[in-house]
Amino acid sequence: MKKKKINIAIVGLGNIGSYLYQYLEKNKKNIKKKTNVDINILLVSARNKKKNRGFKIPKNKWCNSYLEAASNKNVDLVVELIGGAEGAAKNLVFSALNNKKNVVTANKALISKYGDTLAKIAEKNKVNLEFEAAVCGGLPIIRTLKEGLIANSISKIYGIFNGTSNYILSSMDKNDIDFTEALNKAKKLGYAESDPSSDLNGDDVASKLKILTSLSFNSYINSSNITVEGIHDIDKTDITNANNLGYKIKLLGVSEINNKKVTQRVHPCLIDKFSYIANINGVLNAVIIDGVPVGQTVVQGEGAGPKATTSALVSDISSILRGNIKFPFTLSDKERRIIKFDRISNKIFSAYMRFDVIDKYGVLSDITNIMAKNKVSIKRLIQNPFRSKKYSSIVIISHKTKDLNIQNVIKKISLKNYLVRKPKLIRIESI
């Protein structure tokens, strides 16, 4: 039976947890109008109780231990904002669900790794596990897939899922600056963490994509079949070359099904500079879904930050307040399926390849011979000499071919002693 009052525990009081606490306290009346339920923040927990958060929390709300939030008999709903796939976050969510508490989390790492198991526990105990805030912050992409597009057969979901990497690539392009300068600027503005490695190496996007893949194709989460590449190797020269060729460089997450096999991939892409997604800049995120019968659906907005994340968290909380017990991944555990996954090596791409080489006789001939032997043909070739005239940069746009063939070209040329630095490969995405 739906309750008239819900007791909430918030675990984790960083920027997001602090903002959520204040928002819920200030907007109790408005939330009740929309859900017909009173909310009460019964307990809070954080590593540092003494930290100056700019607002007061009554002493009687503090947990002695974060696990008290999961075991307290009066708590109805636990909001996990600790972060990370292991340790306290994992212990808290598993314990809360096993104690028949509803859980709301923004933890993409946890859901992407343990989502299947957690969903099974939630289903068994007839409680909710909601994670809208785990993917693209304020974008309602999870609810769009679970409810808004429930009638659709989805063939592809893709987009820009990380604001930090998108800001860096956008800044490099707009301001003609190198990777390091763009990264430092992102840190200064608070768009990048002191350790932004998960944003830059593609892991953050990969976690989100695995969740979206599961929801899109009614499958279990698959972590073993996914290609993940980051943006560390993108430099000013690549940005300039892309522009001159009519492209922009974006870090995309792509999941698509063909011949009953799903391919999951995260990597930088060259995309047409006049396309919609090429013009998603700064810290914005955008998700595009191809489905039948709806066609193409686009969800765009702020992907991170306390305000955007709180928007998603409150959406999940409100859904629970309305008394809806739902399967976390739309279908029950028994109805979800094990699907076949395909490797990126079997995909067909055009590719941008850049070889910085010693400018001497026979180099270009050797490169083109290696390409021919590996069934990669040249669509466009540009050779730019360095200022020293001892070196040159060879840029090749290939015709479409298997990704495996392109990878073989890169591997074989990587062994050549005429290379100044390792070859560059950026796939061209037709969207």
CA dihedral in degrees (326, 78, 71, 97; nearest 10)?
30
User: Are 232 and 201 contacting, i.e. CB atoms less than 8 angstroms apart?
Assistant: yes
pLDDT tens digits, residue range 275-292?
Answer: 999 999 998 999 999 999
pLDDT tens digits, residue range 208-253?
Answer: 999 999 999 999 998 889 999 999 999 999 999 999 999 999 999 9
User: Are 263 and 341 contacting, i.e. CB atoms less than 8 angstroms apart?
Assistant: yes
Q: Which of 101, 113, 146, 208 is catalytic?
A: 208
- pLDDT score for 325: 81
- pLDDT score for 64: 86
| Listed residue (180, 158, 179, 160) closest to 169, CA to CA | 179
User: Are 404 and 342 contacting, i.e. CB atoms less than 8 angstroms apart?
Assistant: no
Q: What are phi and psi of 228, to 5 degrees?
A: -130, 120
Model pTM greater than 0.85? yes
Distance of alpha carbon 358 from alpha carbon 355, whole angstroms: 10
Q: Percentage of the chain with pLDDT > 90?
A: 81
- CATH fold for domain 149-302: Dihydrodipicolinate Reductase; domain 2 (3.30.360)
CA 28 distance to own-chain centroid: 31
Structure tokens at 137: 């912050």
pLDDT tens digits, residue range 168-184?
Answer: 999 999 999 999 999 99
Q: How many CB atoms neighbour CB 428 within 10 A?
A: 19
- How far lies 147's CA from each of 20, 140, 279, 319, in Å? 24, 11, 28, 12
Distance of alpha carbon 401 from alpha carbon 377, whole angstroms: 8
Q: Is the pLDDT of residue 1 over 60?
A: no
Q: Is the pLDDT of residue 204 over 90?
A: yes
- pLDDT score for 2: 64
Which homologous superfamily does the CATH classification assign to the domain defined by 344-428? ACT domain (3.30.70.260)
Distance of alpha carbon 251 from alpha carbon 178, whole angstroms: 16
CA 60 distance to own-chain centroid: 37
- pLDDT score for 303: 78
Q: Is the pLDDT of residue 312 over 50?
A: yes
Which residues fall within 8 angstroms of residue 138, CB to CB, at 6 or more apart?
301, 302, 303, 307, 308, 309, 311, 312
- How far lies 13's CA from each of 42, 85, 136, 296, in Å? 14, 18, 20, 38
Where do we find the tokens 């013009």?
279
SS3 365: helix
Q: Is 208 a residue of the active site?
A: yes
DSSP letter string, 350-363: EEEEEEEEE--TTH
| Mean pLDDT, the chain, whole residue set | 93
Average of pLDDT values for 23-35? 93
Residue 12 backbone zone (phi > 0: left; psi -120 to 50: alpha; other: beta): left
Q: How many CB atoms neighbour CB 402 within 10 A?
A: 17
Distance of alpha carbon 215 from alpha carbon 141, whole angstroms: 10
Average of pLDDT values for 34-48? 92
- Specify the amino acid at residue 43: L
Q: Is the pLDDT of residue 327 over 70?
A: yes
| 98 against 3, higher pLDDT | 98
Q: Is the pLDDT of residue 143 over 50?
A: yes
pLDDT tens digits, residue range 80-133?
Answer: 999 999 999 999 999 999 999 999 999 999 999 999 999 999 999 999 999 999
Average of pLDDT values for 126-155? 92
- CATH fold for domain 5-134: Rossmann fold (3.40.50)
| Domain parsing of the chain, residue ranges | 5-134, 149-302, 344-428
- How far lies 385's CA from each of 61, 356, 359, 382, 424, in Å? 67, 9, 8, 10, 17
Q: Percentage of the chain with pLDDT > 70?
A: 99
User: Are 131 and 107 contacting, i.e. CB atoms less than 8 angstroms apart?
Assistant: yes
pLDDT tens digits, residue range 375-419?
Answer: 999 999 998 877 667 889 999 999 999 999 999 999 999 999 999
